[in-house]
Amino acid sequence: RFLVKGGLAGAAVYVAYDQGLLGSGIESAEALRKAQETLPPAIQEWTNYLGWEVRAAQLPPTPKFEFSLANSWNKGVHRVMSALSVAPTKACEYTVEGWKYVKDLVK
């Protein structure tokens, strides 16, 4: 079982790499566009092959993604760097507040 699962996982990673899903954002967008063009005809072909009666109008439309992985990544990097740049200042402020609290407790 473990070997079968490992083989399927390896094959999935290989296919994703081969299709350009693990590359840059431009390559991923191109792979998504190809999948959106290819998937509905492939589903129709399989349903015809299996003898199922499915009309193209019955198939749901492919979802439209307005999500940029590159922009999300860059936004996350900016937030982390911003947090790291103010970290020393915040640490000093919290230390001063902590000392004041301890002094008030000791009094």
Whole-model pTM: value is 0.33
Tens digits of residue pLDDT in 14-68: 887 777 777 777 777 777 778 777 777 777 777 777 776 655 556 667 777 777 7
Quote the pLDDT of residue 57.
53
Domain chopping of the chain, boundaries: 1-58, 64-106
Residues 90 and 98: their CA atoms lie apart, in Å, by 12
pLDDT at 77 over 80: yes
Residue 22, C-beta contacts closer than 8 angstroms, at least 6 positions apart: 13, 16, 28
pLDDT at 99 over 90: yes
| Type of residue found at 36 | Q
Q: Which residue has the higher pLDDT, 10 or 22?
A: 10
| Type of residue found at 70 | A
